Amino acid sequence: MASDTQGAENAGGGLEFHPMDQFIIQPLFGGDVVHWYTPTNVTLWMALSILAIFALLVLGTSRRAIVPSRSQSIGELAYGFVYKMVEDVAGKDGLKYFPYIMTLFMFIVTANFLGLIPTAFTTTSHFAVTGVMALMVFFFVTILGFVKNGSAFLGLFWVSSAPLALRPILAIIELISYFVRPVSHSIRLGGNMMAGHAVIKVFAGFAGLAVISPLSVVAITAMYGLEVLVCFIQAYVFTILTCVYLKDALHPSH
Amino acid sequence: MATETQDVAGQASEAASAPGMPQLDFSTFGNQIFWLLVTLVVIYFILSRIALPRIANVLAERQGTITNDIAAADELKAKAAEAEQAYEKALADARAEAQRIVAEAKAEIQADLDEATRHADAEIAAKAAESEKAIEEIRASALENVRTVAKDTAQEIVAVFGTKKADAKTIEAAVETRMKG
């Protein structure tokens, strides 16, 4: 307790930046050790994501109205958005995997937006979360590609439209880019979420100086607006890349 | 002072235990991954069991309703067009009927008129012929009178001038010749 008051005095005294503190994972019910099963703030905010999705897509559509209410409209909009994306990018045969992609999209988009609530914890700002999702997509798509096409899936790396002499070089480049996919896929989402929240925290830190504080408030507002966009766009990008990878697995020829 | 240094030390140790980015604190990865998988599985079941089929149903039902409504509207439109056509046809029929009646009446009147005209013409012609005949008669009787008067006059004149008695036959012949000439 003594150190707590001391910390508060320090914060009042001068500029203190802890932009990364918001990402620290703490057990919900006290204790210091984070076991794999410990309920933490990760658990809490993921559960809130589930609740939000349940409220939107299950409670919101519970009336099954022909003329939709507002919440049902949003649910149908989300459904149509992802459905059309899968159909357009991955093709008709990709629609079989629509529920998986919808799961990813709904989780990312709700986690992103819940993270925008002040003092909230953003689960998608952690590479462990985005990395696992990207790896799931990577392995799913790779295995699916081999199951569906057999060794013809390797044609993905053999650019038959290029001159013969270039093909081995292109094959190496394609192979590298293929294995870099999960890295870029996960860091793009996690990095965006983390950076945005950290920048807001830094601006908030500047508010400790009375002279700068109005500017700080304006900057936070502007960043928040940008973050609202980023939250949706990054969920969209993650989902559409998943669709592109799925298309590669279903139709590996260039 | 002592508490402050202790606090600083405490913060330092805390910073050391949690490296600069909590994202790279691998000790929490297991926890995050576990809860992430639980979350994804729960969301997947909510979506695939309840939400997605329900929304798909609603959308299909709405699409069906819209299609039905459009079909019904098309049908009504066709009916309206049909009714309009029937109305137009009735109108045209009525117009044609009216024209026919007008033409008929006209023809009837014309026929009556022609009949009357013909009748009048015939009457006029008959009257004219009768008058002509009368005139002819009058003219003939006048000629006869003239001849008689001429004979008588000629006889008298001859009787006055000549001593010998005028031959009635000769005078008659002379008058006839003159009258012809």
What is the number of domains present in chain A? 1
Contact A11, A208 (CB under 8 A): yes
Under DSSP, the state recorded for A40 is B
Burial of A44 (0-12, 13-18, 19+ CB in 10 A): middle
The minimal CB distance from B34 to the residues A23, A37, A50 is found for: A37
Q: Establish if A199 belongs to a structural domain.
A: yes
pLDDT of residue B13: 42
Strand (E) or helix (H) holding B176: helix B168-180
B42 CB contacts (<8 Å, ≥6 apart)? A50
Instruction: Provide the CB-side half-sphere exposure for A185 (13 A, CA).
Output: 27
Q: Which amino acid is at A60?
A: G
The pLDDT tens digits of the residues spanning B150-169 come to 888 888 887 777 756 667 77
pLDDT of residue B12: 42
The minimal CB distance from A34 to the residues B28, B33, B46 is found for: B28
- How is residue B172 written in tokens? 């008659």
Q: Establish if A18 belongs to a structural domain.
A: no
Q: Is the alpha carbon torsion for B49, A182, A108, A28 positive or negative?
A: positive
State the residue for tokens 């012949």. B173
Give the model's confidence band at A35: pLDDT under 50 very low, under 70 low, under 90 confident, else very high: confident
Contact A204, A50 (CB under 8 A): no
Q: Establish if A14 belongs to a structural domain.
A: no
| Chain A residues lying within 8 Å of B57, measured CB to CB | 64
- How is residue B126 written in tokens? 């008959």
Helix A213-250 crosses helix A70-90 at what angle (to 10 degrees)?
50
The answer to whether residue B28 neighbours chain A at the CB level (below 8 Å) is yes
Helix A70-90 crosses helix A98-115 at what angle (to 10 degrees)?
130
Q: Establish if A12 belongs to a structural domain.
A: no
The pLDDT tens digits of the residues spanning B63-97 come to 999 999 999 999 999 999 999 999 999 999 999 99
Q: Establish if A13 belongs to a structural domain.
A: no
The answer to whether residue B44 neighbours chain A at the CB level (below 8 Å) is yes
In this predicted structure, the answer to whether residue A155 has a pLDDT above a threshold of 90 is: no
pLDDT of residue B181: 64
Strand (E) or helix (H) holding B76: helix B52-161
- How is residue A204 written in tokens? 């908030």
State the Cα–Cα distance between residues A136 and A48, nearest whole angstrom: 22
Q: Establish if A21 belongs to a structural domain.
A: no
Closest CA to A37 of A45, A49, A50, A28: A28
Q: Is the alpha carbon torsion for A217, A220, A222, A228 positive or negative?
A: negative
In this predicted structure, the answer to whether residue A105 has a pLDDT above a threshold of 60 is: yes
Question: Cα-flanking dihedrals φ and ψ of residue A40, to 5°?
Answer: -125, -175
Give the model's confidence band at A8: pLDDT under 50 very low, under 70 low, under 90 confident, else very high: very low
Contact A53 B46 (CB under 8 A): yes
The minimal CB distance from B31 to the residues A34, A65, A194 is found for: A34
State the Cα–Cα distance between residues A252 and A157, nearest whole angstrom: 9
The ipTM estimated for the assembled molecules is 0.87
The pLDDT tens digits of the residues spanning A54-92 come to 999 999 988 888 888 899 999 999 999 999 999 999 999
Q: Establish if A74 belongs to a structural domain.
A: yes
- The SS3 assignment for A27 reads strand
CA quadruple A207, A194, A18, B6: dihedral, nearest 10 = 170
The answer to whether residue B5 neighbours chain A at the CB level (below 8 Å) is no
The answer to whether residue B98 neighbours chain A at the CB level (below 8 Å) is no
The answer to whether residue B177 neighbours chain A at the CB level (below 8 Å) is no
The pLDDT tens digits of the residues spanning A162-208 come to 888 888 999 999 999 999 999 999 999 999 999 999 999 999 888 88
> What mean pLDDT is predicted for residues A215-226?
94
Contact A123 B52 (CB under 8 A): no
User: Domain containing A214: what range?
Assistant: 36-250
Contact A194 B51 (CB under 8 A): no
Burial of A27 (0-12, 13-18, 19+ CB in 10 A): middle
Question: Cα-flanking dihedrals φ and ψ of residue A27, to 5°?
Answer: -65, 145
Beta-carbon count within 10 A of B97 CB = 10
A27 has which bridge partners? A40
